[in-house]
Amino acid sequence: MALYRTRSAAVFGIDAHLIDVEVDMAQSGSSRDFITVGMPDTAIRESRERIKSALLNSGFGYPAKSVTINLAPANVRKEGAGFDLPMAMGILGAMGLCPKSEEHILVGELSLDGMIRPVRGALSMAVCARKQGIPNVVVPFENAAEAAVVEGVNVFGVRHLGEALHLLNDPGRLKPAQPQCVTAAESLEAVALDYADVRGQTVGKRALEVAAAGSHNLLMIGPPGSGKTMLARRLPGILPPLSFVEALETTQVHSVAGVLPRGQGLLAQRPFRAPHHSVSDAGFVGGGSGFPRPGEVSLAHNGVLFLDELPEFNRNVLELLRQPLEDGAVSLARTAMSLTFPARFMLLGAMNPCPCGFFGDRSKECRCTGAQIQRYIGKISGPLLDRIDIHIEVPAVEFKELRGQADGVCSATMRERILAARATQLGRGWLNSQIPPARIREFCPLDGAAERTLEMAVRRFSLSARAHDRLLKVARTIADLAGSSQVAAKHLAEAIQYRSLDREYWT
């Protein structure tokens, strides 16, 4: 048998596409010839040395013939060492040691001794196999748990090249991997931080509850040590559990990015990403050399993106937030292709009111000049502020509150109210932060008093059309938490409080 074909998959964005691996062996030419065509990258071209050593060290030998491998379709660039396993199996098939394997997608990186290393994007490849009607997927053992969550596909985790060969020769030799299920209770146990540990900051806790209930973006302003980071770190404990669809999307992004822990199945907790302010543009929204990779905004998909010390981030980086906050996705255009990564997240920002951090503080004097303060807070542009629904002040905690008893507000109680409010929203078809502009009047009906309150707020604070809509959405969430079908003046008044702080600091 001189010509043999196996199948693999390549990841573009977060989706995988089927790749045919065709292996041809010929008598003519030098036995040292090993040619790979089909737009392979450097990692694939280097695979010939890994494959030769793996075959020899596994006891299969290496043919004294020239080998030509084609990765089809040839007009799409391929990258990564995950093609090692299908290429090696193709050579074994051409040697007559392996039966036809067109009902399998194979992926894995080979060590020189034949061991199989994990790869990125195994979950996406299993999804691709299901779409293409291919019943079996062979992946490295460490990737089996994530790929096994896809229904309708048999996923086999293998540790060694010989084990993969035995599997194809004797399909009943190895049992398919089973998906790992994590319950919502187990997920909550992993979140140890509780709002009951936070003294004072009643307004901050309430605002975070409103933000979590409607998936609203939130900005906290306060002096150093006032508890902004403490409040932010406890937000995952009050968020609803991931649905299966959300968990699949989130795990897929983390799998493609290569940050999914080994042996991890579906992610059970909503992501909480807190990048350092020195993050690059590509690290933040995605990109990089070769094929673009997901950035922090995509890794926070269906979760929280926490930006501490917000003005310390490069302004160009902050402006890149505008598209994902509006569209819930990031589009990256390259010469050869355009890729889209999902990026629907809650933005949670924290910042000091000035460079020294004590502007407006009652106990410490601020030594910053007016120009320094304006330059500092001016890094947060108006269009970005308009996309942040809630702005709150987090003042320093008074001694009596610090030494007093807890206020009784715990994460479990907040979470129950949030779950009830979200159930109401999902009954309407959207979370409140995602209500389309055309449906705002339908979902946010106002009585006469509320209409007058809204008009006063728009005129007094010179709110933009976007800020007007977001104000109504926040008021709708407050009404949902109160179990009210009507948005009353008191709900709107509380929402206005969450929009007035930015006008105070930025004027």
Q: What is the pLDDT of residues 251-288, one digit of tens each?
A: 999 999 988 887 778 888 899 999 999 999 989 998 87
Please compute the mean of the pLDDT values over residues 486-501 and round it to a whole number.
Answer: 88
pLDDT for the residue 262: 79
| Cα distance between residue 102 and residue 469, in whole Å | 54
Q: Which CATH number fits domain 3-173: 1.20.1440.230, 3.30.70.1450, 1.10.3720.10, 3.30.230.10?
A: 3.30.230.10
pLDDT (tens digit per residue) in 26-47: 876 555 688 899 888 888 888 9
HEC per residue, 359-390: CCCCCCCCCCCHHHHHHHHCCCCHHHHHCCCE
Q: Model confidence at 189, in pLDDT bands (50, 70, 90)?
A: low
Say if residue 368's pLDDT is above 70.
yes
The tokens describing 480, both together, are 């949902």
pLDDT for the residue 28: 60
pLDDT for the residue 499: 82
490 Cα distance to chain centroid: 36
Looking at the DSSP bridge assignments, the partners of residue 482 are none
pLDDT for the residue 447: 85
Q: Model confidence at 506, in pLDDT bands (50, 70, 90)?
A: low
Q: Model confidence at 57, in pLDDT bands (50, 70, 90)?
A: very high
Q: Model confidence at 378, in pLDDT bands (50, 70, 90)?
A: confident
Pick from 5, 163, 8: which is nearest to 81 by CA? 8
The tokens describing 125, both together, are 């490849």
Which region among 15-29, 44-58, 182-196 has the lowest average model confidence (pLDDT)? 182-196
Say if residue 183's pLDDT is above 70.
no
Say if residue 299's pLDDT is above 90.
yes
Pick from 334, 348, 366: which is nearest to 296 by CA? 348
pLDDT for the residue 363: 80
Say if residue 153's pLDDT is above 80.
yes
User: Which carries the bigger pLDDT value, residue 250 or residue 29?
Assistant: 250
* Number of Cα atoms under 13 Å in the Cβ half of residue 13: 18
> Could you tell me if 493 and 507 are in contact, meaning their C-beta atoms sit under 8 angstroms apart?
no
- Ranges in the chain annotated CATH 3.40.50.300: 186-411
State what percent of residues in the chain have pLDDT above 70: 93
User: Which carries the bigger pLDDT value, residue 31 or residue 360?
Assistant: 360
Looking at the DSSP bridge assignments, the partners of residue 106 are 138
The tokens describing 50, both together, are 């890994």
What's the CA angle centered on 388, arms 386 and 392, to 5 degrees? 115
- Ranges in the chain annotated CATH 3.30.230.10: 3-173
pLDDT for the residue 194: 86
Element (H, E) at 44: helix 42-45
Q: Model confidence at 185, in pLDDT bands (50, 70, 90)?
A: low
Strand ranges for 38-153 from DSSP E: 66-72, 104-106, 109-110, 116-117, 136-140
| Cα distance between residue 412 and residue 472, in whole Å | 27
- Rounded to the nearest integer, the mean pLDDT of the chain is 88
Whether the pTM exceeds 0.85: the reply is yes
Q: Which CATH superfamily is domain 186-411 in?
A: P-loop containing nucleotide triphosphate hydrolases (3.40.50.300)
pLDDT (tens digit per residue) in 301-357: 999 999 999 999 999 999 999 989 999 999 887 766 778 899 999 999 999 988 988
State what percent of residues in the chain have pLDDT above 90: 51
Q: Model confidence at 507, in pLDDT bands (50, 70, 90)?
A: low
Q: Model confidence at 161, in pLDDT bands (50, 70, 90)?
A: very high
Please compute the mean of the pLDDT values over residues 11-28 and round it to a whole number.
Answer: 88
| Cα distance between residue 5 and residue 263, in whole Å | 30
Say if residue 190's pLDDT is above 60.
no
Say if residue 90's pLDDT is above 60.
yes
Please compute the mean of the pLDDT values over residues 354-383 and round it to a whole number.
Answer: 86
